[in-house]
Structure 1
Amino acid sequence: MGMIRTFAATLAVATALGGMATAASAQEITLRSSDTHPDGYPTVEAVKFMGEVLKEKTGGRIAVQVFASHQLGEEKETIEQTKFGVIDLNRVNFAPMNGIVKATTVACLPYIFTSKENMRAVMDGPIGEDILKAFEPAGYVGLAVYDSGARSFYNSKKPITSIDDLKGMKFRVIQSDLFVDMVNALGANATPMAYGEVYSGLQTGLIDGAENNWPSYESSKHYEVAKFYSLDQHSQCPEVLMMSKISWDKLTPEDQTAVREAAKESVGKMRELWDAQEAKSRKVVEDAGAEINEIDPAAFIAAMDPIYAKYADTPELQDLVKRIRDTQK
């Protein structure tokens, strides 16, 4: 019954969107792209920029239409739709892909990266390319890696300045087993929840807090209902821009090359927008009265040993951890 409902829902979306739509002729293509974030957010604008580059590369034959603000669904739903070819392009965090593409798990491990620069160096090199290649057997084509910033805890109850302050608090996390286990390992209670439900959850007291980066904390207005932001920076789990393998296989080799090149070119634009947005978002929330707390992460890092043991549980994943740690910037 569940499979019938899933198929029916997918079919309904396919009918509404038309899959990879063709325009006036069979050569004109519009790729539908999904993002949970609002217009103006760096990832949304980066995919729009990719569309502009792609249009230029193909003489206007291929365009990208971005559906922002989770118009096509939350990340978990759009991941499935992308596999079926209902959505052509999708910007999602690595975390909900952990159970689908195992290599993404390592990049989401707490404190795996030492800095933003370290994360970018890793993702721009052979390690990042290897992770993107791992998407294809799962029905997706990994095109580019975007920033997701450093994620930190915020809440509506009290300042968090040490690991002990987390005990017993309820925090929303991405719908990811790794994030659930990470928060629980810190003594808090993890509550997986769709991004679009977090504001009301904080407002009603269903959850005490959540964890995210500066731009998400600000653009979602979560600072209005959770004013205590603690800079533990536990995760720099990246984002991926991926394409449905079904949609990809409909393209000519030349158009596939153009799509891949345009996606890679969008990374620089995304980072430029991201760095500016981080600074702007921090100022907005501070001006609005959010209380920012610095944290010594040593105790947080020490609590993560069981997470590494559980999630880097194969020789391949352990090797990936080592390769990342050996990458210096």
Structure 2
Amino acid sequence: MNNLKIVFFGTPDFSLDTLKYLHNSNHKLISVVSSADKKSGRGLKIKYSPVKNYCIQNQISLLQPENLKCIDFQNDLKNLKADLYVIVAFKFLPKEVWSIPKMGSINIHASLLPDLRGAAPINWSLIYGHNKTGLTSFFLDENIDTGDIILKTEVMISHSDNFKSLYNKLKLMSGSFLSATIEAIINKKKLLKQKNILKIDKAPKLNKENTRIKWNDTSLNIYNHIRGLTPFPGAWTEIKENSKKVIIYKTEISDFEKDGIAGSLSVRNKSLFVNTSDRLLKINELKIEGKKIIKGNDFINSIQGKKIILY
């Protein structure tokens, strides 16, 4: 059985390369499942996802269930008689769905499992300061990111990588990685059981609290935190004097020792720095609430010598 009947599950841009591979492969892409349309923007207009746009452009059958536990939706899936489900950047599937195809359901996860199980593995690989990450393919089971592993592939993380650059590296690898994964399944490659390792880094969903910058941390940890959230969703802080939100996009670790309390700004050689627990961190790009992204030295001109503390 070299030509499989496959249903693909995905919604965001990260899913596109794997979807394109399936669409152009010898396998039969019989349908795509994507999230229901949502209204967004000031006018609350419906904006189609990248996956839906691709399906429309290429006349691919598309299902958009409001509820994955809907019996009618599950019956529609059963009637497709797929050999395999491929899931990339999609919500958690109930057993009633992932257990339908005879060969099972596989997921492509953007980390080297079991490390970085969770919703935001790319962000957290940078926040933790890892020097490598990758993609893992595995069969779905009843828990999150715990199923038997099919394949892994690694990519190195450079000191200058941020979320966007690492995201693009992994996205570009995903199509060929899925190809190798399906080949391994067809050839009945031996699977790797995930061990219950206690000391692994997790990748929880990003929220207001875990994206906030803690200035009493080390300059290296703060640097990693910021690049792991750049450009989206953005590492944020507030100006103590007026509670205005500030997103920091780009920093450099300096050789200057700290010269004030954590979070206080400092100017050296016409450049903007902020105090951390150990040294000064240079701020190259930032955005104040309601304004455009600016360079650090432009912010110096706007504060006109005032003492500013971020917290």
- Relative to the length of structure 2, the TM-score reads 0.23
**Which structure is higher in RCO with an 8 Å CA cutoff and minimum separation 6?**
1
Larger CA Rg, structure 1 vs 2: 2
Larger helix percent = 1
